[in-house]
Amino acid sequence: MAPHLPPLGLRRTVVAALMLLVVGCTPARSDAAPDPCAPAVDGGNVLTRDVAGISLHVTVAGPVGAPAAVLLHGFPETAATWRAVATDLAADHRVVVPDLRGAGCSGFAPPGTDAYATADLAADLADLAVALDLPPATVVGHDLGAMTAVAWARAHPEQVASLVLSGGGVPGFGLAERGPPHLRSFGDAPPGTVEAAQRGRVREFLGGFTGSPAFPLDEAAAAYAPPGRLDAAMGRYRALDRDAVAQRAHPRPLAMPVLVVAGGAPDLAADTVTALRPDRRVVVVPDAGHYVLVERPAAFADAVRAAG
């Protein structure tokens, strides 16, 4: 993520720039379209659980009774983005990898709502943990998933043994000031406008947005091309101001250990979670950027093991 946010007066310019990402920079397309509902872990079992009125698509893998690890994706990710990390961890963890509300093959927010705030997603996850009878877990969040992980940990500390955060800041604690331009531009865009602008060119849009050759672009494009998926993702950005208000309203510290896994550069999670956990630890993975989970998955999995 870029470290600085431009003045709000530039937001329309930023939106326009994001809408016109250069197609020529997009990696080559694969011939076979991936299945967005395929297991997110090699050899894993796909489950569907109804929580808070939402159908969540979840992959579960690893030994029953092993330490639990729940992996939460950001955007333009889905559960499938965790495949290499999750498959590694499943050797000695009970790994749970959900598509979050509105993403992948999970259900949308209830009709007539824009319920994609971190509190909404955290409530889904709290109910999922009960439905799966999970013990207190190591909860791992990347990008927007890190924000959701923090919200879950603060709302239900009894369900979260430790937190691992990467590439995503905490709303209300410096994210707006330090975050990249798209946080504001996506959040300011009215519902439906980004999806309408990118209809028919979702892959090109995501390719210019991610910018990492290691990112599984074909999987992301297959997941976000269906109607409503891209707008649901934008709903998470539209909720960031609400998230910030909610986080500041209850500034109690995080009760569990926090590890930040950073890809070779300053990480928003490290900067913004400090107010909630001053003794947070940071592991820097060399030769990686924002998408450290796909650029250096073995190192990321090892960091999760160390956190647990």
SS3 for the chain is CCCCCCCHHHHHHHHHHHHCCCHHHCCCCCCCCCCCCCCCCCCCEEEEEEECCEEEEEEEECCCCCCEEEEECCCCCCHHHHHHHHHHHCCCCEEEEECCCCCCCCCCCCCCCCCCCHHHHHHHHHHHHHHCCCCCEEEEEECHHHHHHHHHHHHCHHHEEEEEEECCCCCCCCHHHHCCHHHHHHHHCCCCHHHHHHCCCHHHHHHHHHCCCCCCHHHHHHHHCCCCHHHHHHHHHHCHHHHHHHHHHCCCCCCCCEEEEECCCCCHHHHHHCCCCCCCEEEECCCCCCCHHHHCHHHHHHHHHHHC
Is the CB of residue 158 less than 8 Å from the CB of residue 182?
Answer: no
Q: Tokens in use for 266?
A: 């300053």
Give the pLDDT of the chain (308 residues) as one tens digit per residue. 333 333 333 333 333 444 433 333 444 454 577 898 999 998 999 999 999 889 999 999 999 999 999 999 999 999 999 999 999 999 999 999 999 999 999 999 999 999 999 999 999 999 999 999 999 999 999 999 999 999 999 999 999 999 999 999 899 998 888 888 889 999 999 999 999 999 999 999 999 888 899 999 999 999 999 999 999 999 999 999 999 999 999 878 999 999 999 987 678 889 899 999 999 999 999 999 999 999 999 999 999 999 97
282/279 Cα distance (integer angstroms):
10
pLDDT value of position 34: 86
161/304 Cα distance (integer angstroms):
12
Is the CB of residue 62 less than 8 Å from the CB of residue 94?
Answer: yes
Task: Give the end-to-end CA distance of the chain in Å, rounded to a whole number.
Answer: 26
pLDDT value of position 264: 73
Domains and CATH numbers, the chain: 8-28+38-307 (3.40.50.1820)
> Amino acid identity of 289?
G
29-45 burial, b for 16+ CB within 10 Å, e for fewer? eeeeeeebbbbbbeebe
Residues 6+ apart with CB under 8 A from 116: 101, 102, 109, 232, 235, 236, 238, 239
Residues 6+ apart with CB under 8 A from 120: 52, 101, 109, 239
Q: What angle separates helix 240-249 from helix 144-155, to the nearest 10 degrees?
A: 30
